[in-house]
Copies of this chain bind each other. A is one copy, B any other.
Amino acid sequence: MEEKRTDISKLGEFGLIEHITQNFPIKNESTIKGIGDDAAVLKYDNKKVLVTTDLLLEGIHFDLTYFPLKHLGYKTAVVNFSDIYAMNGEPKQLTVSIGVSRRFSVEDIEDFYAGVRLACEIYGVDLVGGDTSSSITGLIISATCIGETVDEVYRNTAHDNDLICVSGDLGSAFMGLQILEREKKVFEGDKDFKPEFSGREYLLERYLKPEARKDIIAELKKNNVIPTSMIDISDGLASELMHICKQSNKGCRIYEDKIPIDYQTALQAESCNMSLITAALNGGEDYELLFTVPLGKHDIVEKIPGVKVIGHITDLSLGMAMITRDGEEIALKAQGWNQTKE
């Protein structure tokens, strides 16, 4: 009898980890929420604790040809902090373990951890664990972040007519990656090549040294706004919005002309003949926050610097769509970079 063999390429298509873990029963009192959001939620007496974890692999998630190790350490920490903020929490502790091949020196590892350290200092997080081991090929990074929260915010709690908000601007990290990938190709053909990054520093920084939106969480708190749902944008706006809508059993309408896009992103899209709106909808690694608030909070959120209202939640029956500048309604599809990753 032949054994059944399903190709791993199917993996992203049906969210393998959810599929595999859906019937894991929850046994412990302290477990409030398991797999399926930005972080797990645990409860101890009156304190709620968030746990999120990330596995980053060379050649899959990053390319060391153009990614400085210190930046990579910084980004490793920040993307984990971002998951905690996306639960309306504050990151407090971090563990970072790495596997390194012989290609790396001790100084390389020190560079990497210098980046981790800088991020920890800036965000007020303690490095509490991790280890280094050898690997056969390349760099392997595993990080876990622990945070605290009073009012955690999930993905599955958006309501009809809630406003859909995003922080910052979208598509810029994706454009930064495009520049780096293109320059890498040019570089490979020409040893005397000097990359021209001038005027595009913002795009590169968005990709190589992203920040987590601690400031937005603080502003929301200051204004007494608790989002009804929230997620961070790691796989692209469309993909994350689908998570919120699907898990909340809702539809949505967003407006093309409301989606925040930086000037450099627009210029770059034009110069490399790419669709700007596709970059904003489907480009990943922005690490901005996508959240919903009750309609009545409109005037408050509009005044928070860096927050933009881009649409609203609807009944499930209306589906997910974007209204273009021409007033056309087009269905939203997720085409994130890394669909296997929550």
CB <8 Å contact, A7 and B106? yes
Q: Which of A13-43 contact B (CB under 8 A)?
A: 16-17, 20-21, 24, 26-28, 30-31, 33-35, 39-40, 42
Provide the residues of chain B in CB contact with A324, threshold 8 Å: none
Count residues on chain A whose CB falls below 8 Å from chain B CBs.
82
Contacts of A144 in B (CB 8 A): 51, 53, 95, 144
Which residues of B lie under 8 Å from residue A106 when comparing CB positions? 6-8, 10-11, 16
The one of B11, B47, B60 that contacts A45, using a Cβ cutoff of 8 Å: B47
Specify the main secondary structure of chain A where it touches its partner. mixed
The answer to whether residues A135 and B8 also contact, given A109-B16, A113-B20, A140-B140 and a CB cut-off of 8 A, is: no
A3 at the interface (CB under 8 A from B): yes
Shortest beta-carbon contacts, A-B, top 7? A40-B128, A142-B142, A6-B106, A44-B47, A34-B128, A45-B45, A44-B44
Given contacts A11-B106, A42-B93, A144-B144, list 20 more A-B pairs with CB under 8 A: A5-B107, A9-B102, A17-B130, A20-B110, A21-B127, A24-B126, A27-B124, A27-B126, A34-B126, A35-B130, A44-B44, A44-B45, A51-B128, A53-B95, A53-B129, A53-B130, A60-B136, A131-B341, A133-B338, A142-B142
| Residues on A facing B (Cβ under 8 Å) | 3-11, 16-17, 20-21, 24, 26-28, 30-31, 33-35, 39-40, 42, 44-47, 49, 51-55, 57-61, 92-93, 95, 97-102, 104-107, 109-110, 113, 117, 120, 124-138, 140, 142, 144, 146, 148, 338, 340-342
